Amino acid sequence: MTSTDMLIGPHHSVVVGLGRSGLAIAEYLSRRGEPFIMADTRDRPAGLSDFQRLYPDVPVHCGDLRRLDLQKVKRVVLSPGVDPRTPGLEQPGLEVVGETALFVEALSQRAKRPMLIAITGSNAKSTVTTLVGDMARGCGINVAVGGNLGTPALRLLAQQPTAECFVLELSSFQLETTPQLGADIAVHLNLSSDHLDRHDGMAGYARAKQQIFNGAGIGIINRDDAATAPFDPAQVARVVSFGSDMPGSDSDWGLAELDAAVWLMKGSQPVMAARDVMMPGQHSLLNVLAAFAVGDEAGWPRDGMVDIVARFAGLAHRAQRVADIDGVTWINDSKGTNVGATLAAIEGIGVTLAGRLILLAGGVGKGADFTPLAEPLARHARVAVVYGRDRALLARALGSVVTVVVVDTLEQAMQHAMGAAQPGDAVLLSPACASLDQFDNFEARGEAFCAWLKQWQPHS
């Protein structure tokens, strides 16, 4: 397609990215009657014909953004998948924001602004976001849940116009294009290596995550992970923490042993016995503590939240207990696509076992360093079964501290685990890798894991 320079005026926004968020941005601007142009860096983006059918009068530019004179526009609004460093976006004075920034703008224009709860982290943010949303509903709150998880934030505004609370999962991609989020409650769960190519390394990734605290009322952070604390204390009005130890103040959350049982605590007050949490592993207890901290600060009734947690089984493919076969628990953590997620699963589940852990890992490693997995596997694992494209890299990183078995496919890994597992053990699929060498996505990988277990017949 040809350039649309001559069609751009000072009141136009340019929306870049014909994906799910890009369409939500287009819907929002169209509802408001704001003129915009759609652009995509691909020459033939998926969804182009559908967009043109919906918006026949909106100009579309496909290809190199440098062919657009963006100096004339009101602003550029990026979909999360579009890198702000894309050539053509570096023009001086250009306002570049994302969908979440428009959501914040729209929220501030309401006569009565709803509560905004924002949740980020390298891992577990979908689980905590979903749990917080379930808690809100269980406590009778008219809540809208989405963002990086499920429905884009701008679409939530249209779908649930009377919502009194919005709970958003936000990725680093969304946060880096949101200058002033202004969340009532901002949660930073954890930080581990991910998306380093997009953010020019770990420091840039950490800075993007810190945007969650800009203008926040309450910041909820992880005491076990210092990188979750606000770099600038002035970013937030007050900080509440959660962690795996006994809370140090009455406003913080943690774990303690009372009468030979582990309890989830607020300060010195026991709130819920760990045995009553359905999700497996200590890392799941930390997720629940974060959710409790959110609900408590939001003023939701404690009994209602406890009731929801007792029935919350977690999300599919995220530390999901799938089967118990001959005393062995099988756990689907296919969403563990990076080292940090797998590390949390190993540590969290390993400490709860009467037996040992059998790890199934492999796929596309995205250049990751797998050596941090070695030390916890040495403490908790019976064997690591590695498969897929980067199985040799995993074997080299782990082989000096734990028995490693190398196979080709996930099914072969499961077959080996079935023979190696002993009563009291857990078989954990937490690959530390992307799935695209053998599966379309992590969901397909997790579904294959579950399907294989359903078909397995003892003594066959």
Position 460 pLDDT exceeds 50? no
Percent of the chain residues topping a pLDDT of 70? 95
Coil, strand or helix at 38: strand
Nearest to 334 by CA among 275, 278, 414: 414
User: How many Å apart are CA 410 and CA 282, to the nearest integer?
Assistant: 26
* Pair 425, 354 in one domain: yes
Q: What is the CATH number of the domain that holds 34?
A: 3.40.50.720
Structural domain contains residue 406 = yes
Task: Pick the closest to residue 147 from 121, 165, 174, 122 (CA basis).
Answer: 174
**Res 459 pLDDT > 70:** no
Residue pointed to by tokens 């810190």? 210
Residues 328 and 443 in one domain: yes
Same domain, 82 and 107: no
Residue 1: pLDDT band (50, 70, 90) is very low
Verify that 300 and 339 share a domain, yes or no. Answer: no
What is the per-residue pLDDT across 434-454, written as a single tens digit (0 to 9) for each? 999 999 999 999 999 999 999
Structure tokens at 99: 């969908």
**Quick one: 121 and 263 in the same domain?**
yes
Last residue of a domain, one of 311, 337, 367: 311
How far is residue 243's CA from residue 285's CA, in Å, rounded to a whole number? 9
Confidence of residue 198 (pLDDT cuts 50, 70, 90): low
Same domain? For 153 and 300 the reply is yes
Would 356 be classed as within a structural domain?
A: yes
Which of 75, 94, 113 finishes a domain?
94
Does 270 share its domain with 369?
no
**Region 209-227 average pLDDT:** 97
Q: Is residue 395 assigned to a domain?
A: yes
Segment 367-426, tens digit of pLDDT: 889 999 999 999 999 999 999 999 999 999 999 999 999 999 999 999 999 999 999 999
Residues 89 and 108 both lie in one domain: no
Cα R_g (the chain), whole angstroms: 23
Q: Are residues 340 and 447 in the same domain?
A: yes
Judge if 232 and 135 occupy the same domain.
Answer: yes
Q: What is the pLDDT of residue 305?
A: 98
CA dist., res. 424 & res. 353, Å (int)? 7
Residue 319 has pLDDT above 80, yes or no: yes
What is d(CA 417, CA 438) in angstroms, rounded to the nearest whole number? 19
3-state secondary structure of 2: coil
Query: Beta 165-169 vs 357-362: how paired, if at all?
Result: unpaired
Tell me the CA distances in angstroms from 3 to 60, 69, 176, 231, 257, one per residue in order: 9, 9, 28, 42, 66
In a domain, 307, yes or no: yes
Q: Which of 59, 94, 129 is the last residue of a domain?
A: 94
DSSP string computed for 68-111: S-GGGSSEEEE-TTS-TTSTTS--TT--EEEHHHHHHHHHHTSS
Q: What is the CATH number of the domain that holds 377?
A: 3.90.190.20
Backbone angles phi, psi at 455, to 5 degrees: -85, -15
Both 144 and 278 in one domain: the answer is yes
Residue 159 belongs to domain with CATH number? 3.40.1190.10
Number of domains the chain is built from = 3
Q: Which residues of 248-275 are buried (b: 16+ CB within 10 A; e: fewer)?
A: eeebbbbbeeeeeebbbbbeeeebbebe
Known catalytic residues are 125, 148, 195
Higher pLDDT, 6 or 44: 44
Q: How far apart are CA 95 and CA 75, in angstroms?
A: 5
**Please, what sign has the CA dihedral across residues 387, 390, 393, 398?**
negative
Query: What confidence tier does 201 reach under pLDDT thresholds 50, 70, 90?
Result: confident
Q: 30 in helix, strand or coil?
A: helix
Instruction: List pLDDT tens digits, range 67-117.
Output: 988 888 899 999 988 888 899 998 888 899 999 999 999 999 988 999 999
**Average pLDDT rounded to a whole number, residues 327-340:** 93
- pTM, rounded to two decimals: 0.84
Amino acid 383: pLDDT: 98
For residue 188, name the pLDDT band (cuts at 50, 70, 90): very high
φ/ψ (deg, to 5) at 58: -90, 120
Report pLDDT for 193: 63
Q: Which two tokens stand for residue 444?
A: 């397909």
Strand order of the β-sheet with 75-78 is 60-62, 36-40, 13-16, 75-78, 96-98
What pLDDT, on a 0 to 100 scale, did the predictor assign at position 70? 87
Closest CA to 17 of 60, 71, 74: 60
Tell me how far the alpha carbon of residue 400 is from its chain's centroid: 32
Q: State the average pLDDT over residues 242-253.
A: 97
Give the pLDDT of residue 196: 57
Q: Which residue has the tokens 């009467």?
A: 354
Look up the domain containing 451 and give its range.
320-455
Does the structure show a pLDDT above 60 at 5?
no
Domain identity same for 300 and 419: no
What's the confidence (pLDDT) of residue 2? 44
In a domain, 460, yes or no: no
